[in-house]
Structure 1
Amino acid sequence: MTTMDIVEKFEENCCVMHYTTAGQLWNIISPREFVDFSYTTQYEEGLLTCGISLDYGEVRPNFVRGFNHPCGWFCVPLKDHPEHSLLTGFIQTELRGMLPQSAVDTAMASTLANFYSDLRKALKT
């Protein structure tokens, strides 16, 4: 993910978000953008965020509009180590465009690995 912006805010925990990703595999896979409705709420002792893509606004030049089917992230503190949390994500992303499935699989695996690595670094700072 290269950018993440709130496009429209409805309530404190409810908004429309715009995300972009960089091109992958030497730009064989063009940069993507996603526009999602997002809702975040307390879940037990942690957080639950769920979302779905919307047909919202114009597609920016040089991007392909991807689509996220219903998805969610659960962040729940560990009972034995409350200073740590377990982050579980359920995503159903459709990159769209004309892509070989092997390229999609490779790009998604490396993108998700980088996302978690970057998230871990950000949380440590």
Structure 2
Amino acid sequence: MKFLKLFQGESKDKENAKEPMTQDQYLAEAHRIFQVSWDILHNTNWRLEKHMENGDTVHSAHLPVVGKVFKAQGIVNMEPRALLNLMFCQPDQFSKWNPVIVESRLLQNIDENTHISYQVTAERVGGLVARRDFVILSHWAMRDNCYVLAGASVPHPAAPHHNRYVRGENGPSCWIMRPVKESKSRCQLEWYLDTNLRGWLPQYVVDAAFSSIMLDNLNNVRAYAKKQNEQASSQSN
């Protein structure tokens, strides 16, 4: 896939550059990440890994250069726009509703659709996967009547590498919030993830961690949606 090699080459150049990226460079990178992640999601032969009783699924695929990547899909009782707000706005609040994230903060606003955040993920697989930290450039836009939130790792002077955590790296990844025709208050959430946890980890541990993280995230979003719906119902009574 030519677009994968193109992105990786550009990303590596930026990572090795001594000068911090400008706002315009971050914005151009965000648009590139958006298109690459969309293309991968829709031009890949996916293989089913897990099919849960509630209908959630996890698929995987092997991409040239990149390796194994994953996507998860499930129905959430939340309007697409409300779910986008939850997953993009107020990054300082991410850890309060998503136990997978133990620390999060906004590093830089680029524009109303684009920002850079710092996130620390919890231990996984009984502690075999220690905490990782990530610096993520995120950008959202509408595509095919869906809200699409894309992101990938970038360097940022406000979050240099340190010895406390292993710095993980996300390649172009995205969340898609598709409306459900039968109900405006629900949406189909699809998540494509390309990440490198770094460190010395057996592949079976990595695969188990990815599947677990993706399903946990779907359930965490549902738990928050349920809480919000219950609060709205009690206030209306």
The two structures have a TM-score, normalised by structure 2, of: 0.49
Q: Of 225, 228, 235, which residue of structure 2 is paired with 1:123?
A: 225
1:43 matches 2:43: no
Looking at structure 2, the residues matched to 83 and 37 of structure 1 have their Cα atoms a distance apart, in angstroms, of: 28
- For 1:69, the equivalent position in structure 2 comes to 171
* Equivalent residues of 1:8, 1:17 under 8 A apart: yes
Shift of 1:43: 3.3
- Report the AA paired with residue 125 of structure 2: L
Shift of 1:103: 1.0
Structure with max Cα Rg: 2
Q: 3-state SS of the aligned residue for 1:117?
A: helix
Q: CA RMSD in A?
A: 1.6
Count of aligned residue pairs for this structure pair:
125
- For 2:235, the equivalent position in structure 1 comes to none
Q: Which runs of 5+ in 2 are unaligned?
A: 1-99, 229-237
- Report the AA paired with residue 117 of structure 1: N
Output aligned runs, 1:30-109, within 5 Å.
Answer: 30-56=130-156, 57-109=159-211
Looking at structure 1, the residues matched to 104 and 140 of structure 2 have their Cα atoms a distance apart, in angstroms, of: 16
- For 1:14, the equivalent position in structure 2 comes to 114
* Equivalent residues of 1:31, 1:62 under 8 A apart: no
Please identify which structure carries the higher strand content: 1
Shift of 1:44: 4.5
Please identify which structure carries the higher helix content: 2
* Equivalent residues of 1:22, 1:32 under 8 A apart: yes
Deviations 1:24-63 (A, max 9, x none): 2332211011111100123344311111111233134431
Q: Runs (4+) of structure 1 moved beyond 4 Å? A: none
Taking CA–CA contacts closer than 8 Å with sequence separation of 6 or more, which of the two structures ends up with the larger relative contact order?
2
Q: 3-state SS of the aligned residue for 1:73?
A: strand
* Equivalent residues of 1:72, 1:90 under 8 A apart: yes
- Report the AA paired with residue 46 of structure 1: C
The two structures have a TM-score, normalised by structure 1, of: 0.89
* Equivalent residues of 1:30, 1:62 under 8 A apart: no
- For 2:71, the equivalent position in structure 1 comes to none
Looking at structure 1, the residues matched to 173 and 209 of structure 2 have their Cα atoms a distance apart, in angstroms, of: 19
